[in-house]
Structure 1
Amino acid sequence: MRRHVMELAPGDRIENDIFNNNGVFVLKKGTILTDESIVKLVQHSIDYVDVELSVAEEPPLRNIEKMELQFNDAIDAFESIFLESLTTGKFDENDVDDLLNPLLRDLTSQKDVVSLLLLLDKKDNYTYNHSMQVGMLSYYIALWLDYPHEMAYKAGKAGFLHDIGKSMISPEILNKPGKLTPEEYEEIKRHTIYGSEIIRNSTKDEISALVALQHHEREDGTGYPNGLTSSEIHPFAKITAIADVYSAMTSNRVYQNKQELITVLHELYRLSFGKFSAEPTQAFIRHMLPNFIGKRVRLSSGELGSIVMTNPSDFFRPLVKTDTRFADLSREMNIDIQEVFME
């Protein structure tokens, strides 16, 4: 069947060898198309090809529904831990481990981290949802840095508990929609100290206590509460700092609208030269970017489409296939991605 290149889909099979107008060989007969090979046809200015259409079934959901149920349970459980910390100044560590062990074990088989973030983005309560996201991302970053599972679990647990000290902050300050006064901001900063104390009162987990204390420290010494520099900051606190900022910037908060996922990755890349530790930040970016291939997006031009490949010249401005064309955002600098979303 003869099809225009814009009508091709991954899984279609090429029926004839394909050459461009200059006689250069492009694809051989029998090739099963992928997003990358469709892009290759576009790059060679090939308009029509003969294909056998794919009859493949829709891909499985990779247990996304199961993960959503686990996330719901985890967010509810964190609310209980948070409220217990508020009323007693401590929590039951067994509750945390009983929650995280099966959840993080199942995350090991989930490679599409962006879909998981989009799933979590549906949840309403920022404080509890944010802790779930940071725990999940901290776990993944540790794995991507080749920590063994046992240590990655510790990183994920520390990320999950990093903001427990906010239970000690007045809701009027924590949820204030306007700008904080200097006094209110100083109180917010104390959540790091409160969190470290709560964890030490509840567990013997020194790593989680340190991460709670240090996750707002920065490589150049401009962070808080102690103005530490790179060598003084625990490696897992560096990991949680990245997960914390990414989750915060891509989530709706009472005083700030969420930013687009790829744009925030670009901002983290910029911050990896001075503010954040370069190795975990760049590992995070390197492993996240392939997750965006195939995701639906809304462009600032109003067009809807799907990301088909990242650009080697600019990783943060991908090639997008819309209903009518391929938009190369590395060349069309006046167009941006406004939103990445699940169908």
Structure 2
Amino acid sequence: MRVHVTDLKPGDLLKNDIYNDSGLHMLMKGSVLSEDDISKLLQHGIDFADVEPTSNLHSDEQTLPSDQTRLLTNLFNDTIKGTHSLFEQAIEQGFVDESQVDEIVGTLTGQLEKQKDVVSLLLMLDGDSDYTYNHSLQVGMLAFYIAGWMGYNPEECLTVAKAGYLHDIGKSKIPAEILHKPGKLTTEEFAEMKKHTFYGYDIIKASTEDEIVALVALQHHEREDGSGYPYGLRGDEIHPYARITAVADVYSAMTTNRVYQTKQELISVLCELYSLSFGQLSAEATQELIKHMLPNFIGKKVLLTSGHTGVIVMNNPADYFRPLVQTSTAFIDLAKERDIAIVEIYVQ
């Protein structure tokens, strides 16, 4: 099957050798294309490539089959319902059922292990669910992935996921008029809001003997440069799992609609996180998130500020956060077209 190079996907199987206009051998027949291979073809002006028509090797990475989509949608909905139940229990009793937490997190991570396209998962979660419950799911999910990318073993990753999932359980003790206030909090209200870290620690300690999970709830707003709360800890004074959770927390918060803030586009937030990694957020955790998220944007449909829709076809080596987009009429290099930006990325 002859395919334009911009329609190639990582995982496509090359049917024939590819040579450039100068006769230089570029890629060998039988090669499984990577993102770098596709970039190389674009850079050398190759227009078309022959790939095996039965190749579905990339489908698990770039698109989710419909049965997987249904399974994950149901899983996410069940997880959010379970999270609501846990928050209600924390409000009424001051603790949560650890066996219920373990069941929720275990079921969730069991499915996440099979998924590589984290961007599609986040887009699936971009709904109208209560922010606090959706956010808990997202942070648990992202913390799980980041820990794995950083080389933690499966048991450690499960603990990080549990800690990320419960990081905001202390918000169950924050008055609703503060938690859901649409405008800026007063100094007194913000002081009360910050207590959710203490409340979370106490709830988790009352629910489980796991000091580490409780510490993450206490420390997830601490920052590398000492600018965070509640204690103004710095660097290695902050537990490694809390440093991972902080990155997941900030990314999820910035990319999700809240009563006082409109969500931001996924790639531009990665750029902001990159800036924050030079002082406030863990550089290692942030860089692992960026490195593993960026390839997932290739093939995603986007809306541009120009009003055009298109597909991301390549991450730009000159500016990772401003990719090459193909519209119906042109290729737009956002690294060069600085007055054009991505408004929204769509779930497929």
TM norm structure 2: 0.88
Which residue of 80, 93, 101 corresponds with 1:96? 101
What's the offset of the Cα at 1:163? 0.3
User: In the alignment, is residue 67 of structure 1 matched against residue 45 of structure 2?
Assistant: no
Q: Which has the larger radius of gyration?
A: 1
Equivalent-residue separation in structure 2 for 1:267 and 1:122 (angstroms): 23
Q: Secondary structure at the match of 1:69?
A: helix
User: In the alignment, is residue 200 of structure 1 matched against residue 194 of structure 2?
Assistant: no
User: In the alignment, is residue 144 of structure 1 matched against residue 165 of structure 2?
Assistant: no
Q: Secondary structure at the match of 2:264?
A: coil
Which residue pairs with 1:256 in the alignment? 261
| Alpha-carbon contact 2:255-2:266 (below 8 Å) kept | yes
Call closer, same or farther: CA 1:326–1:129 in 2, change over 3 Å: same
Matches within 5 A, 1:232-243: 232-243=237-248
Total equivalences in the alignment: 339
Which residue of 277, 283, 292 corresponds with 1:287? 292
Equivalent-residue separation in structure 2 for 1:13 and 1:315 (angstroms): 26
User: In the alignment, is residue 186 of structure 1 matched against residue 186 of structure 2?
Assistant: no
Instruction: Give the aligned residue type for 1:276.
Output: L
Runs of 5+ in structure 2 lacking a partner? none
Which residue of 291, 311, 319 corresponds with 2:316? 311
User: In the alignment, is residue 329 of structure 1 matched against residue 334 of structure 2?
Assistant: yes
What's the offset of the Cα at 1:305? 1.3
Q: Secondary structure at the match of 1:166?
A: helix
What's the offset of the Cα at 1:125? 1.0
Call closer, same or farther: CA 1:282–1:32 in 2, change over 3 Å: closer
Instruction: Give the aligned residue type for 2:251.
Output: Y
User: In the alignment, is residue 128 of structure 1 matched against residue 120 of structure 2?
Assistant: no
Q: Secondary structure at the match of 2:272?
A: helix
Q: CA RMSD in A?
A: 2.6
What's the offset of the Cα at 1:281? 1.2
- Deviation per CA, 1:281-334: give whole Å up to 9, x if none: 111111111111111111111111111121122111111121122211112111
Q: Secondary structure at the match of 1:320?
A: strand
- Deviation per CA, 1:11-58: give whole Å up to 9, x if none: 6977796543xx3547579688967666655544566x5868947679
What's the offset of the Cα at 1:197? 0.6
Q: Secondary structure at the match of 2:267?
A: helix
- Deviation per CA, 1:165-221: give whole Å up to 9, x if none: 000011111000011110001000100011101111111111111000000000111
What's the offset of the Cα at 1:67? 1.3
Call closer, same or farther: CA 1:9–1:211 in 2, change over 3 Å: closer
TM norm structure 1: 0.90
| Alpha-carbon contact 2:3-2:51 (below 8 Å) kept | no
Call closer, same or farther: CA 1:5–1:91 in 2, change over 3 Å: closer
Equivalent-residue separation in structure 2 for 1:228 and 1:342 (angstroms): 38
Equivalent-residue separation in structure 1 for 2:258 and 2:3 (angstroms): 46
Call closer, same or farther: CA 1:145–1:9 in 2, change over 3 Å: closer
User: In the alignment, is residue 174 of structure 1 matched against residue 174 of structure 2?
Assistant: no
Q: Secondary structure at the match of 2:279?
A: coil
User: In the alignment, is residue 296 of structure 1 matched against residue 301 of structure 2?
Assistant: yes
| Alpha-carbon contact 1:196-1:212 (below 8 Å) kept | yes
